[in-house]
Amino acid sequence: MLYQITDWDEAYANGAHIPNADAYVPRWTDAAAAFRAAHPPQDLGRGHLFLPEGAPRGLMVFIHGGYWMRFDPTLWSHLAAGALAAGWACAMPGYPLAPDARIADMTRIVADQIAQAAGRVAGPVALTGHSAGGHLAARMICPGVLPDAVAARVTACVPISPLSDLRLLMRTAMNDTLRLDAAESVAESPALLEPRAGIPVTSWVGGAERPEFIRQARLLADVWAGLGAATECVIDPGRHHFDVIEALADPASPLMRRLLDQSGLR
């Protein structure tokens, strides 16, 4: 069957295709606040660093989504539960949002916070993020983003529902806010860049997501495999764009095993 997009805004609309979509943000807000009350985080400036009991086995990083226009780390604190249960610290960087910031600025600011967290937590670094955060997680392992000493500690990158080719978003109404131009969309698209060598990459996407998110996840894995990286695209059956991240709270989930087992420490 031929695949062709005639409505780019519809192609990237998630909530309209998820039952009871409006209930998710209030649910996340309550769960995140309860988790912070039980596990007060350290400050990362714009973000948070959660520490487990005892010496951390490594640092997991989760970068939030919201199409670079919405949300902040306080909405996702409960997703650190899986990392802490596995004995890992969890950093949740924050970043300024469009239209006040360009995506290139967000890339730099997230990298700075990851470097700050890595300075406090020894051991391997496992990177993940969701949607726009999946894009930013993939950008972190492109040369020239993270400091070399931090990048050398990265044992896994698992972008969840990543946006890997930003050129297409220039065709959506979102670009009135994002202000992407041709040059920035190319410079900030992981699928148009090369990854650092030696870091396994798993793009992870829900099987019930919009076709464009599945295509973008496959694109990243396919292109980077062609550049010599060890990659896989995992399509999580039945999961949609809002619930595909729930597995981060479970240390035994396949998603968390893929993210943390790369270190050889679990």
Given this model, what pLDDT does residue 1 score?
87
Q: What is the largest CA-CA distance in the chain?
A: 54
Tell me the whole-structure pTM to 2 decimals: 0.97
CATH T-level fold of 8-261 = Rossmann fold (3.40.50)
Quick: pLDDT tens for 88-100: 999 999 999 999 9
Quick: pLDDT tens for 118-167: 999 999 999 999 999 999 999 999 999 999 999 999 999 999 999 999 99
Question: How far is residue 218's CA from residue 235's CA, in Å, rounded to a whole number?
Answer: 9
CA torsion angle for 104, 108, 113, 114 (degrees, to 10)?
100
Asked if residue 75 lies in contact with residue 28, where contact means CB atoms within 8 angstroms, the answer is: yes
Parse the chain into domains and list their residue ranges: 8-261
Question: How far is residue 117's CA from residue 92's CA, in Å, rounded to a whole number?
Answer: 9
Asked if residue 160 lies in contact with residue 205, where contact means CB atoms within 8 angstroms, the answer is: yes
Quick: pLDDT tens for 2-46: 999 999 999 999 999 999 999 999 999 999 999 999 999 999 999
Quick: pLDDT tens for 58-69: 999 999 999 999
